[in-house]
Structure 1
Amino acid sequence: MSRPEELTTMRHPQAKVHRVFELIEPIATVTFSEVPTEAFLAIGMRNYWDGYFAGRAAPLGYAPAEVVHAVFYNFADGEVARHIPWVWGKTTPEEALAVREQGSTAALRQAVGNLADAPELARVADLATKAAVSAPTEGRVLYAGLRALAVPTEPLARLWHTTTMLREHRGDGHNLLLAAHGVGGTEAHVLMALAAGMRAEEFGRVHHLPKAQLSAVVDGLRDRGLVDADGGFTDAGRELKERIEALTDELAAPAYDVLTAAELDELIAGLEPYATAVHAADL
């Protein structure tokens, strides 16, 4: 059995695999912006987080909160249960999937402008699809749920859908590595905050937690030598975060094995104007 530091033999350079992640992230995450949120509010969701959980958990069907919590991994205890299964009394997974796709495609179209009708879009979407439908599903529950869905035919919708598949495939692998390294869900958010140069209590995903609860998480990381007395990274904490990120790229890499080196370069070049446009739009 290989050690965690030697997970795979990568066909493509890690830097290029990571670059694809950097480019698909803004495209896929338009789903968390205002236009899709408004679409979910229009079908009866109470707030942003109802729409978030309905749309993102929809590929799992009517899974109970305990299952969604396990798959999403890094939410604090009880957060999923405030939305699942309540949202399924207002909509269905099938409707949530449709609302999410339509709202996300509309948000992407708004962000990229004329690029939405560019002749090269179909080729970029085709390459993203080629990778997205070929990744391994073992241990990738959320990705497998998305993999079971039909891929949209319209190029912009297909680009959003397949970048989302690739993002969730990488995210599932990231969760596996966090668990393997003994990093809990809320701890993962604290490490993410520190990597972004923020203190834990400033980070949006955890700043709302009761002060005592968040302090206990930080204290646990301090006891493990990952956080210093001032609440920042120790060398060991930073090294752990960087190692997990590098290994996450390795676990994500098999999705791109189906692409030749030239095709991967073409995909990167093709994604860049779309990612740049979304960044500039600041949805």
Structure 2
Amino acid sequence: MTTAALEPQAGRRCYTVVNPLHSAVYFAPEHDDELAALGLKRGSMAYFAGRAAPLGAVGAGAVTATFYNFSRDLVARCVPAAWEIASPEAVLAARQRAVDSVLTRLLGAEVVASPEVAEAAGLALRAAEACGREARALYSGNADLPVPEQPHLALWHAATLLREHRGDGHLMALAGAGLDGLEALVTHSATGKGSTPKFSQLSRGWTSEQWSAAQARLRKRGLLDAAGELTKDGVALRGDIEAVTDRLDRAPYEHLGPTGVERLTALAGGFAQAIMAGGGFPKQHFGKG
């Protein structure tokens, strides 16, 4: 473990380019294809099952709590019904097959088999050694899974650990800021850095009335203006949330050290660019659109 000082934003920058390696899988047709082959419905059921499978055959309550910004009504239509169709073990196997197909398509077979992918996997796994389990359900569930032998699958596994570790910490920050799941979603959409309001509302299962009611609550707190944009206080709150998230997520990157973080950022940044260029994320679903 290194004792060298880590530049304040280095961990966030590294996470930002590592995360696409994990999250692109959920936007890829291969993911739904593999889970549909088990009998699961495409879309929300496939997503909830694929991401929650490391937790076991959990119910709607556990998924709603750990995913945070999805409507419980939507979640309850998908789980636990998904586990009556396919076991978590079968879903995990299908998920790994999807990861193999998606990364090979988006990065190319030559890159997948390259020393750089193996190096990135080793660095990301080393960073994940310092992740904490306390109050981090999604991270901890994935941390119980074995590390795949193939480097590109090991890289996805490590990216998942880092993504869910930061995500679990982010939920702590959101709860501490007094934002419920829908309010968190509305304010994040208002930053223009995430999904569009329309995609966020539909994909998370919220009605227009519920979305409007959340906006009204946020306006009452002085966080949104009449046009649905963040006020100065709203921008400050989102900044505070990210700062708390950074602090709660600092350990993996401190453990990896400045040199390792810089190298992982460079490697993952190249992979993330390839994923973006290959259409890994539908552009129409992101921004303020």
Q: Same fold (TM over 0.5)?
A: yes
**Which residue in 1 is equivalent to 2:83?**
88
Contiguous gaps of at least 5 residues in structure 2 = 281-289
> Using the alignment, how far apart are the partners of 2:67 and 2:206 within structure 1?
18
CA deviations on 1:198-252 (whole Å, 9 max, x unpaired) are 997x331214632222111110000000011121111001111111112212211
**Which residue in 2 is equivalent to 1:194?**
190
Instruction: Give the 3 Å change call, closer, same or farther, for CA 154–121 of structure 1 in structure 2.
Output: same
Give the residue type in structure 2 aligned to 1:25.
Answer: N
Equivalent residues in 2 for 1:1-283, closer than 5 Å? 11-32=5-26, 33-113=28-108, 114-196=110-192, 202-207=197-202, 209-283=206-280
Contact 2:124/2:264, CA 8 A, preserved across alignment: yes
Contact 2:20/2:272, CA 8 A, preserved across alignment: yes
Instruction: Give the 3 Å change call, closer, same or farther, for CA 110–197 of structure 1 in structure 2.
Output: closer
> Using the alignment, how far apart are the partners of 1:217 and 1:90 within structure 2?
35
Q: Which moved more, 1:214-223 or 1:256-265?
A: 256-265
> Using the alignment, how far apart are the partners of 1:205 and 1:86 within structure 2?
23
Give the residue type in structure 2 aligned to 1:24.
Answer: V
1:43 alignment partner, SS class: coil
Contact 2:183/2:214, CA 8 A, preserved across alignment: yes
Q: Which moved more, 1:29-38 or 1:168-177?
A: 29-38
Give the TM-score taking structure 1 as reference length. Answer: 0.92
Give the residue type in structure 2 aligned to 1:261.
Answer: P
> Using the alignment, how far apart are the partners of 1:102 and 1:151 within structure 2?
14
Give the residue type in structure 1 aligned to 2:43.
Answer: Y
Contiguous gaps of at least 5 residues in structure 1 = 1-9
> Using the alignment, how far apart are the partners of 2:217 and 2:107 within structure 1?
43
Q: What's the offset of the Cα at 1:197?
A: 7.0
Give the residue type in structure 2 aligned to 1:237.
Answer: G
Give the residue type in structure 1 aligned to 2:52.
Answer: A
1:98 alignment partner, SS class: helix
Q: What's the offset of the Cα at 1:47?
A: 1.6
Contact 2:60/2:72, CA 8 A, preserved across alignment: no
> Using the alignment, how far apart are the partners of 1:102 and 1:129 within structure 2?
20
**Which residue in 1 is equivalent to 2:286?**
none
> Using the alignment, how far apart are the partners of 1:255 and 1:49 within structure 2?
31
Percent identity between matched residues is: 36
Contact 2:7/2:258, CA 8 A, preserved across alignment: no
Equivalenced residues, count: 273
Contact 1:199/1:232, CA 8 A, preserved across alignment: no
Contact 1:27/1:160, CA 8 A, preserved across alignment: yes
